[in-house]
Amino acid sequence: MTKPMFDRVAILGVGLVGSSIAHAMRRANLAGHIVGHTKRAETLKRAKRIGFADSLTDSVVKAVKGADLVILATPVGAFGAIAKAMGPHLKPGAIVTDVGSVKGAVITDVGPYIPKGVHFIPAHPIAGTERSGPEAGFAELFDGRWCILTPPKGTNKRALKTLKSFWEKLGSKVEVMDAKHHDLVLAVTSHVPHLIAYNIVGTADDLRSVTEGEVIKYSAGGFRDFTRIAASDPTMWRDVFLNNKDAVLEVLGRFSEDLSALQRQIRWGDGDALFKLFTRTRAIRRGIVDAGQDSAEVNFGRNTPAKKKR
Amino acid sequence: MTKPMFDRVAILGVGLVGSSIAHAMRRANLAGHIVGHTKRAETLKRAKRIGFADSLTDSVVKAVKGADLVILATPVGAFGAIAKAMGPHLKPGAIVTDVGSVKGAVITDVGPYIPKGVHFIPAHPIAGTERSGPEAGFAELFDGRWCILTPPKGTNKRALKTLKSFWEKLGSKVEVMDAKHHDLVLAVTSHVPHLIAYNIVGTADDLRSVTEGEVIKYSAGGFRDFTRIAASDPTMWRDVFLNNKDAVLEVLGRFSEDLSALQRQIRWGDGDALFKLFTRTRAIRRGIVDAGQDSAEVNFGRNTPAKKKR
């Protein structure tokens, strides 16, 4: 067996992504020792039960001590406090990274606590499911998915190369970009879609003249697709919106403007305008399937009572 | 072999739903003879190639002649003209039904052309995929899905019972409700979700500072879920919005109001309000999965590069 990439890796946060990283690291022999951290006793027990790591601790200081790679994998709202606690105890030459869905705020919140000689390189794997908790993780989560690194100016080139290689060994394809651009791109491809999904599910739930039973029974008409991402982890998503405010509000403004135009077209019966939009949007779906970023199977290939691969 | 339920069934429109009905009728031996109709020569050829029906014609009059059951399965915008053409040629005692996604407008458009002695009972199977055309149909489309019948006042009880039994034999569960209520329920569970999906895909496509390549690459963050239903048939959906204007505008108004509240909560950093909504929406997902209306598998069980049933 070859020497692992890192002697000691600390994963702070033992949810879906942290747990998946642990599994994927083992698959590729990337760590001599994995230490997991969570401050909640109950979650610690659950992480232990699934064999999350070689050791588990509720102390940030103990977790990062001697670690060559430190990965922040809690909801982003907790990053600042963790960074403050771990800062003085980081090993010189170590790499500190994260998996947060926002990057500008992470640089602002974590950056100041990272001592000289420690390499801080934020990262965001574009992968996930609607499940949360340590039991939700699996080694293949990152396979074929993109991971975006947003190194601040002056980042050590060798450390960047190492982290890039680490993510590739976890199964990802890696892209490097500016944090601000990342936050705008993700507002479009992830944050605003989640917000809209949460919103429509809330609206449906509020409509007293249509019962919850009816919403559920007839959800196969389209609504059910939205409920999957509206079942995502509430804490994580609260923190995303609070920490990517500018980009989310910018994209949301455009969305609402476009929706008002559509609303007007419906009110005034402008069928041609509707048809034009509905035709244009088809092409994007084809692009996503062709790029291998979604299933080509009809209905996502989902296991309905009528599963059929056409 | 037992006698089929109907001697002669006419399906006007040979797309996804019409084609699926033809396949499902054959599976359950429901028709002695199936005749398919479309006015487009090219589509007629495609329907012929897949063995859609026992006979195919481009004449509405020939299609409905002698038919015991007539099913309108074109986009709803075409129903009025078809009804006008077929009215005088319908067989006394025949049942006329449809599969349109709106029901109030169908009663208004088709009802006046149905002669006395012919039973007109609108229907709406809540089933579909993002594909269209005769090749997209399959016999299992309706299995375990709901079909809503909206009989106008005074509908013959025996004819209603027959149509109910027909849909059950196609694999559906059947519910009967008032057309107006149907249109509101479906605005919530299908029409507005489609509109929102079309809209967000359009907004993303318009945002010049984020390239189409980036939208596609990072779509696994949530966006890709919306692109499936935004790839649905443009003609069908244009007609849905033009024909269910009131209910769609009503639900859309509530959606926009709720979205504005969310926008304000983000702007002012009201994390508690966000958390509360995001927790509430999780329960609806569980309800849909428990009711067998969606896959319990993570990520819809879709065939990503990392397919994993957890």
Burial of A1 (0-12, 13-18, 19+ CB in 10 A): exposed
Instruction: Calculate the average pLDDT of chain B.
Output: 93
Could you say which of A140, A185, A196 has the minimum Cβ distance to residue B210? A185
Task: Indicate if the pLDDT at residue B250 is higher than 80.
Answer: yes
Interface contact flag, B285 A232, Cβ < 8 Å: no
The stretches of A151-191 forming alpha helices (DSSP H) are 157-169, 179-186
Q: One digit per residue, pLDDT tens: chain A, 310 residues?
A: 689 999 999 999 999 999 999 999 999 999 999 999 999 999 999 999 999 999 999 999 999 999 999 999 999 999 999 999 999 999 999 999 999 999 999 999 999 999 999 999 999 999 988 888 999 999 999 999 999 999 999 999 999 999 999 999 999 999 999 999 999 999 999 999 999 999 999 999 888 788 888 999 999 888 998 998 899 899 999 999 999 999 999 999 999 999 999 999 999 999 999 999 999 998 888 888 898 888 778 787 764 444 443 3
C-alpha–C-alpha distance, residues A98 and A17, integer Å: 10
**Whole-model pTM?**
0.90
The pLDDT of B195-201, averaged and rounded, is 95
Query: What contacts B147, CB < 8 A, 6 or more positions away?
Result: B123, B124, B125, B126, B127, B167, B170, B172, B173, B174, B175
Place of tokens 């149907």: B182
- In this structure, what token pair is assigned to residue B38? 């479309």
B309: pLDDT confidence band, cut at 50, 70 and 90? very low
- In this structure, what token pair is assigned to residue B222? 């949530």
Interface contact flag, A297 B304, Cβ < 8 Å: no
Place of tokens 């926008």: B263
Interface contact flag, B304 A294, Cβ < 8 Å: yes
Q: Are B6 and B30 in contact (CB under 8 A)?
A: yes
Beta pairing, strands B146-149 & B173-176? parallel
pLDDT of residue A309: 37
Predicted ipTM of the assembly: 0.90
Place of tokens 């100041």: A112
Higher model confidence: residue B294 or residue A104? A104
C-alpha–C-alpha distance, residues A260 and B256, integer Å: 9
Percent of chain B at pLDDT exceeding 70: 97
Q: Are B229 and A196 in contact (CB under 8 A)?
A: no
Task: Indicate if the pLDDT at residue B189 is higher than 50.
Answer: yes
Q: What are the pLDDT digits (tens) for B153-180?
A: 999 999 999 999 999 999 999 999 999 9
**Chain A residue whose CA is closest to B236:** A275
pLDDT of residue A1: 65
What are chain A's domains? Answer: 6-177 (3.40.50.720), 181-269 (1.10.3660.10)
Collapse the DSSP code of A71 into the 3-class scheme (helix H, G, I; strand E, B; otherwise coil) and give the result: strand
Beta-strand runs (E) in A117-247: 119-120, 123-125, 146-149, 173-176
Interface contact flag, A200 B218, Cβ < 8 Å: no
C-alpha–C-alpha distance, residues B70 and B97, integer Å: 6
Collapse the DSSP code of A55 into the 3-class scheme (helix H, G, I; strand E, B; otherwise coil) and give the result: strand
pLDDT of residue B1: 65
Beta-strand runs (E) in chain A: 6-12, 31-37, 55-57, 69-72, 95-98, 119-120, 123-125, 146-149, 173-176
Could you say which of A220, A223, A300 has the minimum Cβ distance to residue B302? A300
Task: Indicate if the pLDDT at residue B28 is higher than 90.
Answer: yes
Helices A179-186, A245-267: crossing angle, 10 deg rounding: 30
pLDDT of residue B306: 44
Could you say which of A216, A224, A301 has the minimum Cβ distance to residue B302? A301
pLDDT of residue A80: 98
Interface contact flag, B140 A281, Cβ < 8 Å: no
pLDDT of residue B49: 95
C-alpha–C-alpha distance, residues B183 and B241, integer Å: 11
Contacts with B231 from chain A: Cβ below 8 Å: 281-282, 285-286
Task: Indicate if the pLDDT at residue B84 is higher than 50.
Answer: yes
Reported for B207-212, long-range contacts at CB under 8 A and 24+ positions apart, including other chains, are B207/A188, B207/A251, B207/A254, B209/A184, B210/A184, B210/A185, B210/A188, B210/A189, B212/A284, B212/A287
Collapse the DSSP code of A6 into the 3-class scheme (helix H, G, I; strand E, B; otherwise coil) and give the result: strand
C-alpha–C-alpha distance, residues A301 and A289, integer Å: 13
The shortest C-alpha distance from B116 to chain A (Å) reads 33
Collapse the DSSP code of B138 into the 3-class scheme (helix H, G, I; strand E, B; otherwise coil) and give the result: coil
Contacts with A280 from chain B: Cβ below 8 Å: 202, 205
C-alpha–C-alpha distance, residues A299 and B208, integer Å: 30
Task: Indicate if the pLDDT at residue B307 is higher than 70.
Answer: no
Q: Are B227 and A278 in contact (CB under 8 A)?
A: no
Q: Are B196 and B230 in contact (CB under 8 A)?
A: no
C-alpha–C-alpha distance, residues B300 and B280, integer Å: 21
Task: Indicate if the pLDDT at residue B237 is higher than 70.
Answer: yes
A10 — phi, psi (to 5°)? -105, 130
Q: From residue B146, how far is each of A217, A220, B125, B164, B170 by CA, in Å?
A: 7, 9, 6, 11, 11
**Chain A residue whose CA is closest to B181:** A210
The pLDDT of B102-131, averaged and rounded, is 96
Contacts with A222 from chain B: Cβ below 8 Å: 189-191, 193-194, 197, 229
pLDDT of residue A304: 47
- In this structure, what token pair is assigned to residue A270? 């402008």
Task: Indicate if the pLDDT at residue B293 is higher than 90.
Answer: no
Q: From residue A189, how far is each of A152, B23, B205, B220 by CA, in Å?
A: 23, 38, 11, 8
Helices B192-206, A245-267: crossing angle, 10 deg rounding: 120
Task: Indicate if the pLDDT at residue B290 is higher than 60.
Answer: yes
C-alpha–C-alpha distance, residues A283 and A294, integer Å: 14
Could you say which of B184, B218, B271 has the minimum Cβ distance to residue A238? B271
pLDDT of residue B129: 87
pLDDT of residue B34: 98
CA B155 to chain CA centroid, nearest Å: 23
Stretch (H or E) spanning B132: none
